[in-house]
Structure 1
C-alpha cells in the first residue's frame, strides 16, 4: 500500500482528522477500502472503476486523497446541484479538517454566468412577455451590480427555465471573445483564471465533456494540466458523451440568432434595413416548420421525418432563409464585433443543417435489410418540444473518443458511482466507457438492509402491458400507503402512468406532490415538510431525490425501467449489436434497465437510521428468467409477497428478525453468463 493510501486511511479512520473535526463523522470500513483504492490509482496514475453503495461516503473517500496527493485534480459531478454541494459544503469541511491550504475553484459552463454585454443589449429590448419577466429582469440588473462571481445560481428566485437566461448569458456561438467591450470584467474569463490557478477544480459532466469534445466552453486551457480526474456519478457519462461528441441545432438558437441580428443592427447605420427582412423570414419559416412537424412522433430518425413532404419542404425553406440571412450579414459584419459574430453563427447554422440534410450523411433506415446495409457510424434524429424542435447527429459509440482522451491525458482516472455493476459485474459500463482492463472495486452499501428495509412484491398484478394494470396497481398500493401513512415516493416508467395514478389518488387522505405541477426543488421541499405526503415522479426523478428520515418510508416502482422503444439512438444501438452477432436484450436493454432500477431503489435508504419498504410491482421479476438478474443486483433486502409483512414492518411490534416469505441472498451472487433464450426477446414492446 502506498504512502498516500496509508495517509488517506488514517485521516478517515477512528481518531483521524475527520473524526476529530466533524461531529457527525463515523469511520466506515467500506470507505477506508475505497479511499485506499483511489489513493493507489492517484499514486500509480491508474484507472479505477469503483461502485460504492449508498452510505459508503465516497465523496470524502476521494476528496481526502485528492487534497493529500498534491496533484492538480479535476472532480466532475453529474449535476450542477451536486457540483455546488461538493464545492460549497463537502470540500471546505475536508480541507479544514486536514488543515491544508490547497486552492480550489468552481467552474461551470459559460451559460451559467452573467454576460455583461448581453445584459446591456437586453436593456433596450422590448422582448418581455409579462410583468413578471420585467420584475425578474430588474432583479437581475440589481444583482449584477453586487455579484462577485456572476454565477446565475445565486439568483435563487429566478426559475431554471426562465426565458431571461439566454438573454443575459452567452454561448460559444454568440460570445464576442476578446472583441467584447467587457472582456476585462468577464465572469467566464475570471472563473477560468481561478480554475487555472487552483489545485482542485470542481466541474460537472456537461462542462468536462464539452471540453473533451472541443466545444470551447472556456475550459480547454485547464484540462491538459490535470494530473488526476475523479468522475462521480460515472454511470451518466456514456449517454452524455454521445451528445457532446455529436452535433446539433435547434429552433430556439436560430430564433435567438435572428433576434440578436436585429439587436446588434440598431447601433450600425443601414444594418437594420439590410437584416430586418431576412431575420423576420427566418423566424416565420421556423414557426411554419414546427407546425409541419406536428404530425411526427415526439422523437424519431431524420429519415422518417424527411419522408413527410411538408417537413422536407420546411427544412429546405429554413436552409434558404438561413442562407439569405448569412449573405445579408456578410455585407455588414465588419461594422461591429456583434454583427461579425452573428455572421459566424449563421455560417455554422447553414453548415450544420447541410450536414444533417445532406445525401452523404450516414442515415439510419430501419426498413433496409440489416444484412445489406452498412452499419451506421452515427444516428441522425430529431426531438420535438411543445414550442420547438432539436435535431442531432449522435455517434453510435463513444468508447473510442473517451479512451483516446483518457490515454492522452497521462493522468489518474477514477470512475465512481453507486450504480455501475449489473449482477456484480462491471463489464457493461467498462465497455461503454472504453476501459480495457481497469482496476475495479465493488463496495456494497454498509446499511443493515435486512433490518432497515423490506422488499415487497405484490401478488395478483397483471403483466404491465395488460389493460387494467394501472387500476390493479393502485388497488395493490392503497393498503401499503395506509400502513405507512403516506410518506411514499411513487416512481413511474411513463408520464401517462404517472398522470393516471395521480388522478386515481386525488381523493386519498395524503397530500400529493406530482412532477410537473411545481418546480422539482419546490416539490421536494414541500414533500419533506409535509411529513405524510406522496411524491409521484417519472424517470428523471430516479436520481436527485435525497430525502432522509421518515418523510420517505416507501419507494414504489411500477415497471422494470426498460428504455423507451421510441428512442432513435437506443434503437440504432440495438440494431448495431444485432448486426455484430450480439443479443440486444442481454447486451444492452437488460444492463441499462438494471442500472436504472438501482438508481430508483437508491432513493429509499439514505442514512443508518432510515427504514422503509421497497415495492416492486412488475410481476416479470418472478415470472421471467431475467428477473433474477434484477433482484440479485439489488441490496440484500428481505423479500416478501405478504401484505401482512408490510403492515407489520410499520407497526411498533416489528420483530428484530422480521418476517419475510421470500428470502434474500445473504451475499452477492456470482455473475451468470446467459445465453439467448425466449427470456431475452429482441423487443419488449
Structure 2
C-alpha cells in the first residue's frame, strides 16, 4: 500500500503498525466474501479501498485528522461511507458540488444503507437558494404583471409542482432549474427572508429540511453550505447544520478556495437591487403614503446599474485597487454611497410601520457598513477584488490567509476530520493542501489507483509544438493533432485553459473535421455530456467546469487533449491573495502557490480519461514547458504512471492497438 509521509505530518504507517494484529472491522466488509460483495451486484474487492476504510475507521475512533488522496477507481465513496455509518456517531459529509451531493444521497448512500441494513435517519441539506420560498412565490403571483409569457408559464408549473412536493428542492424542477432568470422570484436570500415573522414559516421547505438534518444521524451537505455554517456560528446567530462527531469532506481539494470566499465578505449589485425591489413592494402594499421611498429606491437602483456599466471592457475578475483609482469608478462610488444614505434616512422614518420595511432598513445598514469597508482598498491584510456577470457585479474583501481560522475550527469542535479527493497531493506530498488549511499535524495517506495506467493509457507532449503565444496556435494545433483525433475516431475531450481558446479551437475543428463538435456554453453541461455519449464519436471542446467532476466511461471518451498547463492568470484575485500571504511568510509564490495549483488542476484534467478497468486511451498536453522547464518534472511526477512518448505516430499506433 503506497503511504505518504510529509515533513510536517504524521505518517499513516506508524498508526497502521499499531493495528496489524487484526483487520479493521469495516475493512472486512470489503473482502471478496464480505457483506458488500454478497449484497451489491458487480462489487469487486480492492486493497486500496480496504486500506482507506481502515484508515477512516481508525480516524473516527481516535477523533483525529486524516488526509487521503485516493486515485480514480479506488471506490473512496464506499470506503468512507461504510465506516462512517458503522461508527454510530453523528456524521456530516460535505461534497464539492450540489450534483455530487445529489448523487451521494440518492445513489451511493442508499446502496450502502441497504447492504448493511442501516436504519438510522439520514438527511440532505442544501443552501437557502436551493429551496422554493412559498412566500416569494405567492408574492410574485400577485404582482406578476410585466413578466414574459415564458416566465408566467413556468410559474404555473412551479406552483403545481410544489403542491405535491415534499422537499421543495428546485433541482427537481428539471429544465426550469437551469433558468437563472426565475430563481430570484421563487427563492429567498439571507437578506430578504422574513424568518419567524413569515406567515408561511411552519410550511417553509428550508425550515423542514434543517429540522430533518438536526434529527438525522448522517447529513449530506456541500462545501459552500459548510463554510456558510462556520461563518454563522462564528457570528453567534445560530447554525445552519448540526454539530457532529465526524466531518467528512469529499472533493476536498476545492475547500481552500471556498473557505477563502466565506471568510471574506462581499456585496453584489443583485443584493442591492433586490433590496430596492423590496422597498418598492413595501411602498405599494403598506407604506403607500411615502412616495419618497419609491423615488429613493429607484435612484439607488439607477446608480448601481450605472456602476455596472462602468465595468464594460474590463476582465470578468480583477483587482479593485487600480480600478478604483480610475475616474469613471472614483466618481461613481460617492454617488452610490450618497444614494444608499438617502434611502436609509427615508426608511428610518417608516420604522415599526411595516415588517418588510424594517427588514429593508436592517439590510441596508449592513450594506452601507460593508460598502464603506470594501472601498477602503488600501487597508492591509486583505485582498480587494471584483467579479462580473452579464448584468451584475460583486465586490469582494478576502483575507490573505485562512489557515489559522480553519485550524481554530478543528480545535473547537472535538471530532474526527477526514479530507479526501483524487487530487490532494503534489509530487507525492500533501504540504500544499495542509498549509492552506492549517492541517500540519494531520495523518496522511496516499493510495494509488487500482487501474493499470501503464497498460491502459499513453501520455504525450508532442515534439515541434507551436509557441504558446503564436497567433495561429489554434490552426497549428489542429493540423498537428487531427491525425490522432481521426485515428481515435473522435471520442475526444479538448480541454482549454481559457474561453477564448475554447472558441478558437471549436471554430477551427468545425472547419477542418467532419466530427460532431460540441462546445461548452452552447448548451447546459448535462445536455452536452449526454450528446457526447450518445454520438459516440464527438469532440467536446471545453474549459473550467469540464476539467473535473465529469465521468464518461467506455469508448465514448478515449482521448484527452489539453492546450497548455493550467496556470491561473497572475492577476486572478484568489491567487493574488495567496501569493501576497506567501510573500509575507518569506516564501516563493510561484513555487508554493502557482505550481501546486496548476499541478492539481492538470491531475484533474488528465483524470477524465481512465474511469474504469476496461478503459483505454491517450492524453496529449500541448505545452513545451513540460519538457523544457525544470518544473515540468513536478507535473509529470504528479500524474498517474502512464506510458510516455513524444512521437504522435507512437500514439496513433497505441490507439490502433486498442481497437
Instruction: Report the TM-score when normalising by structure 2.
Output: 0.94
Q: Is the 8 A contact 2:229 2:240 kept in 1?
A: no
* Range moving further from structure 2, 226-235 or 639-648: 639-648
Q: Which residue pairs with 2:364 in the alignment?
A: 346
Q: Give the drift of 1:600.
A: 0.5
Q: Give the drift of 1:579.
A: 4.1
1:26 to 40, 44, 50: 44
Q: Distance in 2 between matches of 1:264 and 1:306?
A: 34
Spell out the pairing of 1:367-378 with structure 2 (5 A cutoff): 376-378=380-382
- Over 3 Å counting, the alpha-carbon distance change for 1:271 and 1:114 in structure 2 is farther
Q: Which residue pairs with 1:415 in the alignment?
A: 419
Q: Give the drift of 1:197.
A: 0.6
Q: Is the 8 A contact 1:196 1:221 kept in 2?
A: no
Q: Which residue pairs with 2:7 in the alignment?
A: none
1:397 to 397, 401, 415: 401
- Over 3 Å counting, the alpha-carbon distance change for 1:63 and 1:179 in structure 2 is same
Q: Which residue pairs with 2:134 in the alignment?
A: 116
Q: Is the 8 A contact 1:180 1:337 kept in 2?
A: no
Q: Distance in 2 between matches of 1:588 and 1:578?
A: 10
- Over 3 Å counting, the alpha-carbon distance change for 1:191 and 1:223 in structure 2 is closer
Any idea what SS the aligned residue of 2:142 has? coil
Q: Which residue pairs with 1:584 in the alignment?
A: 589
Q: Is the 8 A contact 2:618 2:655 kept in 1?
A: no
Report the aligned-residue RMSD. 2.0
1:625 to 618, 626, 630: 630
Q: Is the 8 A contact 1:4 1:43 kept in 2?
A: no
- Summarize deviations over 1:71-102 as a string: whole Å, max 9, x none: 10000000000000000111011011001212
Q: Which residue pairs with 2:159 in the alignment?
A: 141
Structure 1: runs of 5+ lacking an equivalent? 364-375, 655-685
Any idea what SS the aligned residue of 2:227 has? helix
Q: Distance in 1 between matches of 2:503 and 2:317?
A: 21
2:303 maps to 1:285: yes
Spell out the pairing of 1:239-388 with structure 2 (5 A cutoff): 239-270=257-288, 273-358=291-376, 362-363=378-379, 376-388=380-392
Show structure 1 runs of 4+ deviating over 6 A. Answer: 2-5, 215-219
- Summarize deviations over 1:349-377 as a string: whole Å, max 9, x none: 1111111123xx654xxxxxxxxxxxx31
Q: Is the 8 A contact 2:400 2:580 kept in 1?
A: no
- Summarize deviations over 1:505-554 as a string: whole Å, max 9, x none: 11311101100111111111111111001001112221122111111110
2:249 maps to 1:231: yes
2:492 to 488, 492, 501: 488
Spell out the pairing of 1:471-486 with structure 2 (5 A cutoff): 471-486=475-490
Q: Give the drift of 1:6.
A: 1.9
Structure 2: runs of 5+ lacking an equivalent? 1-18
2:528 maps to 1:510: no
2:603 to 591, 598, 601: 598
- Over 3 Å counting, the alpha-carbon distance change for 1:380 and 1:269 in structure 2 is closer
2:34 maps to 1:16: yes
Q: Distance in 2 between matches of 1:131 and 1:325?
A: 33
Q: Is the 8 A contact 1:189 1:218 kept in 2?
A: no
Q: Is the 8 A contact 2:253 2:424 kept in 1?
A: yes
Q: Distance in 1 between matches of 2:136 and 2:21?
A: 51
Q: Which residue pairs with 2:536 in the alignment?
A: 531
Q: Distance in 2 between matches of 1:53 and 1:283?
A: 50
Q: Distance in 2 between matches of 1:257 and 1:485?
A: 54
Any idea what SS the aligned residue of 1:225 has? coil
Any idea what SS the aligned residue of 1:639 has? strand
Q: Distance in 2 between matches of 1:481 and 1:271?
A: 70
Instruction: Report the TM-score when normalising by structure 1.
Output: 0.90
* Range moving further from structure 2, 463-472 or 474-483: 463-472
Q: Is the 8 A contact 2:276 2:300 kept in 1?
A: yes
- Over 3 Å counting, the alpha-carbon distance change for 1:128 and 1:81 in structure 2 is farther
Spell out the pairing of 1:190-209 with structure 2 (5 A cutoff): 190-209=208-227
